[in-house]
Amino acid sequence: MVKSIKESPSDRVFLALNYVYLIIALVIVLYPLIYIVSASISTPKFVSSGEMWLFPKGLTLDGYKLVFNNPKIWNGYGNTLLYTSVGTLLNLAVTLPAAYALSRSDFAGRNMFMGIFLVTMFFNGGMIPLYLTIKNLNLINSMGALILPVAASVWNIIVSRTFFQSTIPKELQEAAHVDGATNFRLFIKIVLPLSAPIIAVMALFYGVGHWNSYFPALIYLNDEMKYPLQMVLRQILVLQEMSAETTGAAISGDIAQAMNNKAEIAALVKYAVIIVSTLPVVILYPFLQRYFVQGVMIGSVKG
């Protein structure tokens, strides 16, 4: 029979402090999420006045009705799905082969290439040279401007390289070469099927980045029909701020009331759009969580 280890008073104090810390952290993380969900289904006047601070008050689904009836939001949703899908596939197609090549000990010059890659983590040309490059390549107002400049992340290449080094046995590669497999066939037929964890991690990293990205669209796109969802959300936020400022000015009577109602509707739509825009990532994350944790651990304990 295994005897339980008796905890000392200092251990119990330490454990109690850990629980207190975790409870505080949980409250800090959960409160904004609960507030946004509650605000999206509450009457706007209760939200703007501060009467609704946690749970819904004056239940209404008008915000979601406005969202689902807005063609701009659906168009932005479709654009974001397209940019995220194509961009993530491009990221995987660039990152995984590069990481595998750098993980091979028989790849001549791999340290030199790795050094060149590392330089780009600390130095870059800046926004203006990048914009001029995109313009000279005739990529302005196109999907290429959003996905090509971020086709690969050096950090993700390092994490993937570490995975290949620590997971794919060198003997397996040698056996494949003895059987006549080329490097390309070895990578496609053997390495990739054994690399599901890192593929899932990289897809999550890149996918979330594309899904939440709005600044490249702000810089490179001038056609509203090509705006991703985050740009549509930004427009809603800007319109809400402008309406609030106008309402706060010296406006009297029915005009002030109308502007105030417009600001409340914009706020209601804002919270509903936040829920709609984050829902796909929230649904996807639990299925990839174990791979996500494994990928983080790989990058943190291996060089």
**What's the pLDDT band for 88 if we cut at 50, 70, 90?**
very high
Taking residues 150-179, what's their average pLDDT? 86
Compute the average pLDDT of residues 156-169: 88
φ and ψ of 140, to 5 deg: -60, 140
Q: Mean pLDDT lowest for which of 16-25, 107-116, 206-215, 281-290? A: 281-290
Strands (E), the chain: none
Enumerate residues 6+ apart whose C-beta is below 8 A from 70: 269
Question: Position 188: which residue type?
Answer: I
How would you label 177-216 residue by residue, b for 16+ Cβ within 10 Å and e otherwise? eeeebebeebbeebbbeebebbbbbbbbbbbebbbebbeb
Q: Answer yes or no: are the C-beta atoms of 262 and 243 closer than 8 Å.
A: yes
User: Which 8-state DSSP code applies to residue 193?
Assistant: G
What number of other Cβ atoms are within 10 A of residue 121's Cβ? 11
Separation of CA 87 from chain center:
12
CA distances from 112 to 33, 108, 115, 145 (A): 46, 9, 5, 29
- Show the domains of the chain with their CATH numbers: 10-60 (no CATH), 81-224 (1.10.3720.10)
pLDDT of residue 303: 45
Q: Terminus-to-terminus CA distance in the chain, angstroms?
A: 42
Judge contact between 16 and 30, C-beta under 8 A. Answer: no
* pLDDT given at position 125: 80
What is the band of 63 on the pLDDT scale with cuts at 50, 70, 90?
confident
Does position 206 have pLDDT exceeding 80, yes or no? yes
pLDDT band at residue 127, thresholds of 50, 70 and 90? confident
Report pLDDT for 1.
47
Q: Has residue 93 got a pLDDT over 90?
A: yes
Cβ neighbours, 10 Å, residue 108 = 8
